[in-house]
Chain A
Amino acid sequence: MTEPSIMDRIGPAWRAAAGTDMSRRRFIKLTGASGLAVGLVSAGAAGAATPKGVAGKLKPGQQPGAFVHIDRKGVVTIQINRLEFGQGSQTGLARILADELDADWSSVRAELAPAGEAYKDPAFGLQMTGGSNSIQNSFTQYRELGARVRAMLVEAAARKWKVDAATVRTRAGRLIAADGRSAGYGEMSEAAMALPVPASVTLKKSGEFRLIGKPANRLDAADKSTGRQTFGMDMRRPGMKTVLIARPPHFGGTVASFDAAQAQAVKGVDSAMQVELDRGATGVAIVADGFWPASMGRDRLKIQWKAPAELPDSRKLDAQFGALLGRDGLPARAGDLSGMAGAKKTIKADFHFPFLAHAPMEPLNAVIEMSGTGDGRRCDIWTGTQFQTIDQATVAKILKLKPQQVRIHTMFAGGGFGRRATPTADYLADTARVMKAWLAAGRSEPLKVVWTREDDIRGGYYRPLTMHRAEIGLGEDGRIAAWKHTIVSPSILKGTPFEAFLVKDGVDGTAVEGVADTAYDLPIAVSVHHPAVNVPMLWWRSVGHTHSAFVMETLIDRIAREAGRDPVALRRDLLGKHPRHLAALDLAVRKSGYGKKSLPAGRAWGTAVHESFRSVVAHVVELSIEDGAPTLHRVTSAIHCNLAVNPRSVEAQIEGAVLMAIGTTLDGAEITLRDGVVEQSNFDSYAMPRMPDMPPVDVHIVPSGDPPTGVGEPGLPPLAPAMANAIFALTGKPVESLPIRL
């Protein structure tokens, strides 16, 4: 039993709106490449085939639709249709394809594909990386590609050796005939290229996998340990200038007037230009030879700003949201609350969750370059992005180009956590607007637009400020008689291209996921308010589950205490119809020693389990309070993500999600506003978890052969509530807000 997340609804809705039908994609051979090159093309897609005369000049990976290339030496290069920003999809998808191909893993390379029709998510019709979907949605796609290329190589060998193709085996990049003759894939690649791509192939049975399901190190580990990995921030083009943008102190603010005389006097500063920015704002762009002159120039700008009408303030927002908790909102789930009247005990709790910035380690940036004229006019962008299709369309509109004239080169990104998937394409739209102003000034050099850390922390697109209220009536036997639940959370989808088909009956599913679709068998009614707030907001790793899991999982422990039940036993009772939840919970509990091992004085257990992105994660923590702060001694985790394609990568993602969740508990891990101005600006004011905050984490994976489900996000939601439950066990005082302040 898996509930679709909001991200699962975005794709089909977008596809329907855009009129694209990914099921009509065909497998194709690519022209002009040496060796064997196979890709995908949408039937009837304009411009998908490589133009004549150009093919020979392009590397196989640069040809539209390329997915697999085997050169004469047998090196296999695989195009990855996702951003790699830490989650490990580059390695995972390569291993999936390589397994069906029976490739020699040491000969496999993987590159990030540019924006292109063929690289759209096969389920969504949108090129994107998010919702923990990379492996789950491209699992079959990459297997089918690998199996087809293998079949072509086998057929080529069979014809050359004049034997039945059914008698030709493959193993680690070699073709082997029954009589012992053998050849490497590279040797047979050109002969295979002369054959048609088979219309259908038989995929391996799960017992036949050689790479899938086996732990492997990342393909990029060495480059990332030696400084050789190139990120968007490291991109450089001939003649390129660096741009920093002076942004208004308030969201949607504008430039009333500015004086750039002192900025222009800085050696290395080229120009100062007023530019249009995201959400109707304007600012001043400093164009310079390198970051430091741009920074000095920006510091020396004198700008009179015009503030927008609405200046959000955290104290006022808290009061406004708090007042809404007392009123019924839009119905998100109907439930029978008749049991409330006869309740013997009630639990009433209010919860508060702040705005959060994603703060990926690599601040946002993009390099933009214009070239050509007329129909050959082209815009190249190098950036780390989770949302190529939206970015391409948005940039094209700003620069008055067709989307196919905008080439987005996907760079490795230093984290993202959702920040690089904006429905407004904000950072690339700003980059395009700067280029528009640059062109209008009669200039044409390539530009690198860089966000400083301060620009990033103060730049909005936060996890929304959110409050919950639960009123739970318990019967005489401790059973849950009625549960009234109210959520106040601004919609992140309203005002975006997704609103029309994703905000249903006024309810933004990202605000209520994890509550309205809870796996627990509960008499719960849920309503939601979506107040409009002048702050840009966005999904943040695990989206609504960042708060909903905390609320649900801490309430379960409070109910258990009122009912005199063991919290794990109560969970098991309420999850009876959900075997994956039970499997993850039982595995984490068993491995942790919960209920068997006695803890040192001052330590307590805390447990939580939650489903998100179609996977279930349970955490059991050991926690004490040291100098007034919660201190984790051990985290034992279990994930049910069906088939774990690369168990080592699954472990890494759970470890990372645990750390990011610990970050949300730290004093100072919140974005607040005063009179419309964000009060934090860098890591000295916005708290980050550091090495001493990281406990030992033991990750266990529930064995399964079913098609893979999400991994990047599901580890995050249950960690903070497990900590809160341990604190509740120690102090008897419930924790009702993040960050945790004792």
Chain B
Amino acid sequence: MASFKVNGRSVTADVDDSTPLLWVLRDSLNLTGTKYGCGVAQCGACTVHLDGQPVRSCVTPVADVEGASVVTIEQVGSGRIGQAVQKAWVEKDVPQCGYCQSGQVMSAVALLRDNAAPGDADIDEAMEGNICRCGTYGRIRAAIKVAAANLN
């Protein structure tokens, strides 16, 4: 049993304490925008914001988020940075299969929150944990720069 906030809403998850946040979001709360890709924090498809910080929800036991505030891809666009990132993603026609993009967007928003004008090296470092099998990395780089420019 764990109680926390998801996208501003208070929730209580009656699941085993070891259950990763990812499966609470997907199976208990039907928030399926957050994706399962590897289960071992290697691909970043499950990235959410926990008290503002990007975390891999697939290895975050729900017991660890007791009392915390979680924001997912379903809500991140309501913020100024999230909105700018998603707009830039569409403008640069980033997605291909799209499965990794929720995680990519969540990581990009976290980057721009810390660094208003990231360069290529900053982007590489912040985004290295998010795998895209379709090869959209070049467009992600460009979209992050577009979002940064629009925010400044």
Q: Interface of A with B (CB < 8 Å)?
A: 85-88, 217-218, 220-231, 233-234, 236, 242, 266-268, 289-293, 296, 359-363, 412-417, 452-454, 648, 652, 655-660, 682-684, 688-694, 696-697
Contacts and interface: CB of A to CB of B under 8 A. Distances in A.
A227 B20 contact: no
B96 A88 contact: yes
Given A218-B93, A226-B33, A226-B77, A292 B135 contact: no
Contacts of B35: 231, 233, 361-362, 414
A87 B102 contact: no
A415 B94 contact: no
Interface of B: 15-16, 18-20, 23, 26-28, 30, 32-40, 42-43, 45, 72-74, 77, 86, 89-91, 93-102, 105, 123-124, 127-141
B45 A361 contact: yes
Given A225-B98, A361-B35, A361-B132, 20 more contacts: A86-B96, A222-B86, A222-B90, A224-B98, A225-B101, A227-B74, A292-B19, A292-B27, A362-B35, A413-B97, A415-B97, A415-B134, A453-B40, A656-B96, A683-B42, A683-B43, A688-B133, A691-B128, A691-B130, A696-B138
Given A360-B133, A362-B35, A691-B141, A86 B97 contact: yes
* 9 tightest A-B CB contacts, nearest first: A227-B33, A414-B99, A659-B135, A224-B98, A86-B97, A227-B73, A656-B135, A86-B96, A224-B95
Given A225-B86, A691-B124, A684 B42 contact: yes
A290 B96 contact: no
A293 B132 CA distance: 28
13 contacts: A86-B96, A217-B93, A221-B90, A224-B95, A225-B89, A231-B99, A290-B28, A360-B97, A412-B97, A416-B97, A659-B132, A692-B124, A694-B137
Contacts of A218: 93, 95
Contacts of A415: 97, 99, 133-134
Nearest to B15: A292
User: Per DSSP, are chain B's interface residues mostly helix, strand or loop, or mixed?
Assistant: loop
A412 B32 CA distance: 14
B77 A361 contact: no
A415 B95 CA distance: 11
A87 B18 CA distance: 38
B97 A296 contact: no
Nearest to A293: B16
B51 to A, nearest CB: 20
Contact of A683 (B30, B40, B140, B141): B40
Contacts of A694: 135, 137-138, 141
Contacts, number: 183
Nearest to B130: A691
Contacts of B141: 691, 694
A422 to B, nearest CB: 18
A659 B141 CA distance: 14
A228 B72 CA distance: 12
A220 B39 contact: no
Contacts of B43: 361, 453, 683, 688
B95 A221 contact: yes
Contacts of A454: 39
Contact of B139 (A233, A293, A363, A655): A655
A279 B34 CA distance: 34
Contacts of B36: 233, 291, 363
Contacts of B72: 227
Nearest to A690: B128
Given A220-B95, A231-B99, A652-B96, A690 B30 contact: no
A230 B98 contact: no
Nearest to A291: B23
A688 B132 CA distance: 9
Contacts of B101: 224-225
Given A292-B16, A413-B97, A691 B27 contact: no
B47 to A, nearest CB: 11
Contacts of A267: 16
A217 B90 contact: yes
Contacts of B128: 690-692
Contacts of B23: 290-292
Contact of B39 (A293, A452, A696): A452
A659 B99 contact: no
A225 B90 contact: yes
A236 B30 CA distance: 9
A217 B137 CA distance: 17
Contacts of A291: 23, 26-27, 36
B131 to A, nearest CB: 5
A684 B77 contact: no
A454 B16 CA distance: 23
A651 to B, nearest CB: 9
A361 B94 contact: no
